[in-house]
């Protein structure tokens, strides 16, 4: 049903009752949505406009003076921001892994591997832990003299600087992020599987399809909408919920190898005292989000209409 | 299941389960060790399960204070979120009024504006309104951040409740607010519980918003306290681990009790129809 639009009989009933209702009655819907609309207008949309404006003004002594696109030119020349954007590119490259791992696991769980209920609970459990707690745990586990390296040593391998080597650190952080969030995507996949047509699976089995063929010809087409949704939410999650991990695990270092736009915004605003520059970076992140989020809203809308 | 050895799949799944749970168990074990034990052997089970590290983290590092701050802010945010979100959800799903489509689209559109994007001007707004470094400031930050998601879930849940129920209640003489309070609020309980738990997890686990809004150390939330603890006890890993465990225990309890509601909330918006 379409939200906010009454069906024909309901509308007719409303028209006939409209005369009976006193004026304030018509105000009720507005009173009910007013707190939500006010909060979002004041604390979400007004700051967005303000930020767009900030991004076109100067910092420090030039505070508030219009300076065109100077901030944008500056951040795109800043090697640290360049590093943050390159890491966004890396996230996009690693996105298939972050989707395929939970997708494959959900397939196995759906096909009732022995112990599937237990696995489902275990895999989902890190989802409730905060990035700070997870970052802290992996600070201990991945330390240069930590258990992972002790294990490597036991195998006769040299210790790895998981968080101290600029070529490795970002992969470590992304791996931990995937470790922490694959349970979420897994559960969404399982919900998608619940809507999958069982008879197609049975037909595939009768035809003698192996697992790879079943996945390719039955499961992937049947779950296309779920896969879309997981791709979009995973990407948004990577762009907006790794701050806690980065802050605790690497602080952007070594060098600028583990920066993402959100951390760049934080550092420019809080440590460098360059709010206008941070606002320009915010607008770049916003542009990224709009592109990804437009897809999300389309999917959410469709879900509401069918509810 | 298609033809493939079940156990060929079960083995990597078991290994992954171990990889999921082991880092947490390892950290929990470290939290009970003395520094000497930790340096000598990282993997051995703690000799005596003493609570010294926990006492140090809890009282001397102020985690007790931060814990209470987190509880207060989380509780207030969740209450406001489910109240405001369910009112709006009811209006959007069952009342027709001029501009409702536009307002609903606006509320969902806020999903596109993550906190990082408006962080800098948000800070300015808090300064201008005198809400910086205050509990109401942090609560409003959380409410504004998680409201779009809450409205979306409540609207789609309420849309599944038959219109006849609302019509009947209206004919019985209830005002729209009466219908909300007497019918929609009780009927919405399953969704409200899911939304409340998810929002509680988000608020409890957040560090970015809390770092920005709470400036003075006595207003810190637990997660901010943990990041500070890391600097303080960088050479005393067992005490740091104890602090981490203190922060994780409420989450473990919530997970054990509400696992079903959490997964339902997570999936509610994803795959309808």
Q: Do A121 and B259 touch (CB under 8 A)?
A: yes
Cβ-based contacts of A5 with chain B (< 8 Å) = 96, 101
CB contact under 8 A, A188 and B267: yes
- One-character DSSP codes across chain B: --SS-HHHHHHHHHHHHHHHHHHHHHHHHHHTS-HHHHHH-SSSPPSS---HHHHIIIIIT-HHHHHHHHHHHHHHHHHHHHHHHHHHHHHHHH---TTHHHHHHHHHHGGGS-HHHHHHHHHHHHHHHT-TTSHHHHHHHHHHHHHHHHHHHHHHHHHTS-HHHHHHHHHTT--HHHHIIIIIHHHTHHHHHHHHHHHHHHHHH--HHHHHH--SGGG--HHHHHHHHHHHTTT-HHHHHHHHHHHHHHHHHHHHHHHHHHHHHHHHTT---
Measured between CB atoms, which of A28, A51, A229 is closest to B120?
A51
For testing the chain B interface, which of A75, A126, A128, A180 should be mutated: the one with the most B CBs within 10 Å? A128
Taking only residues 60 to 99 of chain A, the set having a beta carbon closer than 8 angstroms to any beta carbon of chain B reads: none
Task: Determine the residue of chain B that is closest to A28 in CA distance.
Answer: B176
Q: Tens of pLDDT along chain B (273 residues)?
A: 444 566 777 788 899 999 999 999 999 999 999 888 888 888 888 887 778 899 988 988 889 999 999 999 999 999 999 999 999 999 999 998 999 999 999 999 898 888 999 999 999 999 999 999 999 999 999 999 999 999 999 999 999 999 999 889 989 988 888 999 999 999 999 999 999 999 999 999 999 999 999 999 999 999 999 998 888 888 889 999 999 999 999 999 999 999 888 888 888 766 543
Contacts of A280 in chain B (CB under 8 A): none
Q: Which residues of A touch B205 (CB under 8 A)?
A: 129-133, 244
Is the minimum CB–CB distance between A262 and chain B shorter than 8 Å? yes
CA angle A82, A83, A89 (to 5 degrees): 90
Nearest CB to A141 within list B26, B93, B117: B26
The pLDDT assigned to B4 comes to: 54
| pLDDT, mean over chain A | 87
Global confidence as pTM: 0.89
- Complex-level ipTM: 0.90
- Taking an 8 Å cut-off on Cβ atoms, the answer to whether A133 and B110 are in contact is no
Residues in A touching B156 (Cβ below 8 Å): 303-304, 307
Which residue in the set B144, B207, B248 is minimally distant from A40, CB to CB? Answer: B144
CA nearest A8: which of B264, B182, B96? B96
């Amino acid at each position: 049903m379409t939200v906010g639009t009454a069906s024909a009989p309901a509308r007719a009933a409303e028209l006939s009752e409209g005369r009976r209702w006193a004026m304030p009655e018509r105000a009720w819907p507005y009173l009910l949505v007013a707190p939500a609309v006010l909060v979002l207008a004041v604390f979400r949309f007004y700051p967005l406009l303000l930020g767009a404006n900030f991004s076109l003004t100067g910092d420090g002594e030039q505070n508030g003076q219009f300076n065109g696109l100077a901030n944008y030119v500056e951040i795109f020349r800043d090697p640290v921001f360049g590093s943050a954007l390159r890491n966004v590119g890396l996230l996009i490259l690693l996105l298939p892994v972050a989707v395929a791992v939970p997708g494959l696991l959900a397939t196995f769980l759906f096909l009732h591997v022995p112990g599937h209920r237990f696995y489902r609970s275990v895999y989902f459990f890190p989802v409730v832990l905060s990035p700070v707690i997870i970052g802290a745990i992996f600070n201990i586990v991945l330390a240069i003299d930590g258990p992972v390296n002790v294990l490597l040593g036991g195998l006769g391998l040299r210790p790895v600087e998981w968080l101290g080597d600029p070529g490795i650190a970002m992969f470590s952080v992304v791996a931990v992020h995937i470790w922490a969030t694959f349970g979420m995507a897994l559960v969404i996949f399982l919900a998608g599987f619940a809507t999958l047509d069982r008879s197609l699976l049975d037909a595939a089995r009768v035809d003698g399809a192996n697992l790879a063929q079943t996945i390719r010809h039955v499961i992937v087409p049947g779950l296309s909408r779920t896969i879309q949704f997981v791709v979009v939410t995973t990407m948004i999650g990577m762009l907006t919920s790794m701050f806690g991990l980065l802050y605790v695990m690497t602080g952007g270092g070594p060098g600028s190898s583990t920066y993402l736009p959100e951390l760049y915004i934080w550092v420019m605003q809080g440590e460098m005292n360059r709010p206008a520059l941070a606002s320009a970076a915010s607008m770049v992140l916003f542009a990224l989000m709009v592109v990804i989020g437009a897809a999300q809203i389309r999917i959410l809308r469709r879900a509401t209409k069918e509810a | 299941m298609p033809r493939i050895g079940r156990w060929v799949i079960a083995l990597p799944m078991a290994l992954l389960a171990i990889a999921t749970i082991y880092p947490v168990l390892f950290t929990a074990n470290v939290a009970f060790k003395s520094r000497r034990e930790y340096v000598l052997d990282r993997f051995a089970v703690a000799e005596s399960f003493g609570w010294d590290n926990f006492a140090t983290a809890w009282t001397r590092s102020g985690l007790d204070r931060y814990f209470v701050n987190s509880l207060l802010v989380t509780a207030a945010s969740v209450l406001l979120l489910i109240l405001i979100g369910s009112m709006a959800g009811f209006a959007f799903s069952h009342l027709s009024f001029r501009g409702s489509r536009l307002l609903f689209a606006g509320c969902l559109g806020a999903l596109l504006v993550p906190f990082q994007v408006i962080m800098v001007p948000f800070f300015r707004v808090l300064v201008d309104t005198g809400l910086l470094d205050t509990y109401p400031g942090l609560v409003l930050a959380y409410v504004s951040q998680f409201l779009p998601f809450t409205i979306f879930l409540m609207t789609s849940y309420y849309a599944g409740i038959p219109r006849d129920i609302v019509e009947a209640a209206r004919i019985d003489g209830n005002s729209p607010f009466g219908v909300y309070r007497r019918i929609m609020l009780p009927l919405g309980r399953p969704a409200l519980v899911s939304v409340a738990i998810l929002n509680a997890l988000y608020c409890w686990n957040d560090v970015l918003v809390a770092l920005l809004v709470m400036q003075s150390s006595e207003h810190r939330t637990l997660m901010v306290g943990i990041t500070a603890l890391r600097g303080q006890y960088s050479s005393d890993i067992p005490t740091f681990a104890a602090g981490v465990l203190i922060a994780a225990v409420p989450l473990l309890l919530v997970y054990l009790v509400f696992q079903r509601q959490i997964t339902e909330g997570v999936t509610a918006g994803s795959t309808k129809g």
